[in-house]
Amino acid sequence: MRTQERIYIYIYFDYHGDDKAAWSVLLHRLFLEKRESKSGLVAQAMLRASVSTRRTRLSTLLASAGSRPGHQLRVSSELVRCHLRYTWAAVTLSAKAPRGSGARVPDMSLRADSHAATSTLRKIAADMSNIIESLDTRELHFDGEEVDSEVLNDPKGTACIPFSAVYHTHGFKEPGTQTYLTGCPVRVRVLEVERFTSTKKVPSPNVYTIELTHEEFTWQVKRKFKHFQELHRELLRYKAFVRIPLPTRSHTVRRQSIKRGEPRQMPSLPHTAESTVREEHFSSRRKQLEDYLTKILKMPMYRNYHGTMEFIGVSQLSFIHDLGPKGIEGFIMKRSGGHRIPGLNCCGQGRMCYRWSKRWLVVKDSFLLYMKPDSGAIAFVLLVDKEFNIKIGQKETETKYGLQIDNLSRSLILKCNSYRHAQWWRQGIDEFIRKHGKDFLTEHRFGSYAAVQENTLAKWYVNAKWYFEDVANAMEAAKEEIFITDWWLSPEIFMKRPVVEGNRWRLDCILKRKAQQGVRIFVMLYKEVELALGINSEYSKRTLMHLHPNIKVMRHPDHVSSSVYLWAHHEKLVIVDQSVAFVGGIDLAYGRWDDDEHRLTDVGSVKRMAAVKSVSTTNLASAAESSECVPLQSEALAPESHLFQRNADDVPDTSKMKGVGKPKKFSRFSIYKHLHKHGMHHADSVSSIDSESNKGSIRSLKTGVGELLGETRFWHGKDYCNFVFKDWVQLDKPFADFIDRYTTPRMPWHDISSVVHGKAARDVARHFIQRWNFTKIMKPKYRSLSYPFLLPKSQQTANELKYQVPESVHATVQVIRSAADWSAGIKYHEESIHNAYVNVIENSKHYIYIENQFFISCADDKVVWNKIGDAIAQRILKAHRENKRFRVYVVIPLLPGFEGDISTGGGNALQAIMHFNYRTMCRGENSILGQLKTEIGDKWINYISFCGLRTYAELEGKLVTELIYVHSKLLIADDNTVIIGSANINDRSMLGKRDSEMAIIVQDTETVPSVMDGEDYSAGKFAQSLRLQCFRVVLGGSDLSPEHQDPVCDKFFKEVWISTAARNATIFDKVFRCLPSDQVNNLTQLRDFINKPKLANDDPAKAAEELKKIRGFLVQFPFRFLEEEYLLPSVGTKESMVPMEVWT
């Protein structure tokens, strides 16, 4: 007994007419045969029909189907109707069933519990997509207007495509992808007809140049008549296909994208053979093709079809405003390999290693990219640069009809259909790039990759307080992208201080908040050699990546695979929407935040015992002898005043405050009261309170928003640091102190940074993008789609600023850098920062002001190679020969920033840096002073000054001092030229082949009246204001100190600068006997020196009187410190085994 089980396959086919040839194709293709197996009933489509069989009439097909035993193919009687709307075919398959079961499947239904039926239906539906697209369109004869499908209206679209669409590309055949600008037509003009002659008989000898315009975008394509014919046939297939409601999600979306009532009448294409068209009829032919394409592009159903988009050369990236003008696009075959990756250049170079892939090539004004058609993923980005070049021909490319595109990073080899096709590509790319991206094709001033950008908004920062705030505000304003690269990044640092809004302005909280809003955040960190550095970049990466999927973090380099052990990524960049770029020396890391006061102690945590009265000049001695501790008011006052210019009335009467002895409770109450007063009581926490300590006294803190009473801290946990005393440890515990802030003063941090807008910001972003894309290619773990390729925005839209940092001024700006193959994947290294420094020094006319973390120069072409020190010496000698005033100011740290106890001579690393600093300044014939003394003797003192910075405070009732760590990378010349960046004055930063660096050179265009060498002078607004701020900080003057205006005159140079530095240094030596000191020439003298009593301990009252004479932070640099010792690492130490290049 055999029971028949029926599986019903519904074929919905909008049909108009009584010709049944189309049905013969569909039903024969869908004929099912029975197969029995252990797994049950399996049905599959038979796809073996030939072209002739497809033309068989319906009756023949039905007869043959009915003659097969056990099979019945039923077709609804509606088939014979003239106007057929829906038809169905029921395929009946026999299967064994238990005797007497009576099992039966009802007609016109599908069993929900039948796995076989469901599986079969899915297989057939999936196959239908391929079946219908491969139909012969000659068998589909549709005439007249179509009956509307049951479709939905398009959702309302936006007028433009956002830049964020580059991160959401789709497969080229996927429906619903926005390619065109909503509401904007595509206009067509056939400009010209070229007739090609050939020895062979060519059916389409004419090539039509078609110009298309879509809103602001205009582009051209070249097509033959046969291309029009192929498009026409493909659209007919698509028209038939889209009427069949296949049960697939993509097809349903495709059908729903077609509006109800939308005209679908295919325009007619000229039938005249191309070879018979005479030249006098070209204009008529052009008009016919123009009208045909115009009609096609007016109908969304056909305009959005992937074949049409391929024909007119558009993609999802064509009409994104910030990507600039539209260039040539199209499918090409791309050969694998060609990357310039250090250590891997041999891979993929053999002919046997090549593989060819079909890709969609997109040309923009400053880059090329190609996409994978199936997924739409951007698979590579090639930036236009000075080495950009295009070659064609088999000899050049080793490929028939090959096209080779070179730049500094890759040789991209493409394969075209013909030599003429390759010529079209070369001409199209070359003309477009030369028209829109010519600035990227040439090497610019100083050998930089970036052009000089005029009328650029720029702003400087002295110290990190305002820098951090502006960075935080810019991040908060981000709409699309945030790029960050740092030598070190600490996720938990607070960007705005004091903290009065909970964690809102903590870096990780800002980034998480923006990522949740849809902003894409990309971070690149230097991957340190863990044995040498303890910055724990792995913790930073892990912490940031866990915040949100929109945050992507890379670390580079991989030391083993890249063979890079000695060099570092040293840039400090924050780029927002590729429109605002922060460039300078300040990492978003612990220890960097500071203001102009350079405090040694953290308010709110210095005192552990409540006090009744303060220390004044008259009672300092008795207070020092007493066990009582001195409450300090906020160090928001000048550092020389916070001990001695105050009386008992300046401090709250603690005896009347209930909070005494319970500072935690009182602090919390006071903070909340303050927040409520200023409308910030909704802050999520009050993390500025030292909630762990009950030992702090009550004091006031001057802030920008009023008076805060309580245990307010500026530096939380690891942020309170003194890295010469002790380097950072346990960075995965960010809020745990690692030094005792009650006994050890922090080391203040002096630094410089800047921000630029517009085209200069685009140039900074381009460097970041180049590094990111190179790292993505180089490290296998980043090759997944979750780490996207980044695209540079166009310079043509750079001045459309959506956000502007307040108080910026207009100037001429150029971005300069140090980059090489290991750091950016470029063939030739770039050292434009070095070239800029030397050039500015050589061409300076009045003065040079330098602040830098290192001062290692004066080339001997053996150990040291950069020529900055030599340029300084030669410029001074030139001034001496011309009998003109010329001043050089150099401010560097008193000690290198390496952990080591200087009272015992410091560590080997610290001494090695000291050796090369002294070798540059004053020791040896190659030093600056050595070169000067040879020609002008002791007159060098009239031209150059070397200084450091130092400050003092009271800690636990004791006077303490500490050097201020100068981390700046700054040069100012003549009050009109400034270089700010991350590059130190040493070979590591300057030579380009070593550390990667980024800087800007700013030349003023806005001037203000000033004085230079006693004469009227037009000073640059940017440069002069920065110099005056630096002078105010280091010299301690007021905002309008007239004595600071002229940096060249003898009165300032000798009576203010040198005099202040000498007096301060003398007082510090007298009170603290601090190191380094000119009184210590060797280690024996060092031991004696530190054992002698200090005035600060022996007579605090007298020490206080002396310290009142200090102005600012400036101190003379001690030239003779340890001059009798050999400071390079001794043989046998681990530092001696490190190459000398590490220290230079």
Q: Exactly one of 224, 444, 757, 967 is catalytic; which is it?
A: 967
**CB-based contact 458:755 (threshold 8 Å):** yes
Least Cα distance to 847 among 578, 1052, 1069, 1082 occurs for 1052
DSSP 750-819: E-EEEEEEHHHHHHHHHHHHHHHHHHHHHSGGG-STTSPPP-PPPGGGTT--S---TT-EEEEEEEEEEE
Question: Cα separations (Å) of 664 from 76, 656, 669, 1053, 1106?
Answer: 86, 17, 9, 50, 37
**CB-based contact 338:410 (threshold 8 Å):** yes
Q: Exactly one of 974, 975, 995, 1004 is catalytic; which is it?
A: 974
* Ramachandran angles phi, psi of 460, nearest 5°: -105, 160
Pairing of strands 847-852, 887-891: parallel
End-to-end CA gap in the chain: 95
1065: buried, middle or exposed (CB in 10 Å: 19+, 13-18, 0-12)? buried
Token pair 């941090």 is at which residue? 749
Residue 108: other Cβ atoms inside 10 A: 10
Residue 170 annotated among the catalytic residues of the structure: no
| Cα–Cα dist 611/992, whole Å | 56
Close Cβ partners of 1077 (under 8 Å, ≥ 6 residues apart): 1069, 1089, 1118, 1121
Residue 958 annotated among the catalytic residues of the structure: no
* Ramachandran angles phi, psi of 736, nearest 5°: -100, 130
Question: Cα separations (Å) of 294 from 206, 291, 302, 642, 1017?
Answer: 20, 5, 11, 79, 64
Which amino acid, residue 8? Y
CA-based diameter of the chain, in Å? 123
Q: Exactly one of 251, 514, 642, 969 is catalytic; which is it?
A: 969
1110: buried, middle or exposed (CB in 10 Å: 19+, 13-18, 0-12)? buried
Close Cβ partners of 480 (under 8 Å, ≥ 6 residues apart): 162, 163, 164, 519, 520, 577
| Cα–Cα dist 747/57, whole Å | 93
Residue 1050 annotated among the catalytic residues of the structure: no
| Cα–Cα dist 980/90, whole Å | 78
Sign of CA dihedral 893, 899, 903, 904: negative
CA angle 319-321-325, nearest 5°?
70
CA angle 959-956-1036, nearest 5°?
45
Write 1069-1072 long-range contacts (CB < 8 A, 24+).
1070/1095, 1070/1106, 1071/952, 1071/959, 1071/961, 1071/1095, 1071/1096, 1071/1103, 1071/1106, 1071/1107, 1072/952, 1072/959, 1072/961, 1072/1096
Chain centroid to CA 1127: how far?
Answer: 40
Close Cβ partners of 284 (under 8 Å, ≥ 6 residues apart): none
Pairing of strands 551-556, 520-526: parallel
Residue 974 annotated among the catalytic residues of the structure: yes
| Cα–Cα dist 1036/1062, whole Å | 15
Pairing of strands 40-42, 71-75: unpaired
Q: Exactly one of 322, 470, 486, 577 is catalytic; which is it?
A: 577
**CB-based contact 371:378 (threshold 8 Å):** yes
DSSP 808-872: -EEEEEEEEEEE-HHHH--SS-EEHHHHHHHHHHHH-SSEEEEEES-B-----SSS----HHHHH
CA angle 440-446-452, nearest 5°?
50
Q: Exactly one of 339, 527, 570, 674 is catalytic; which is it?
A: 570
Q: Which residues are catalytic?
A: 570, 572, 577, 967, 969, 974
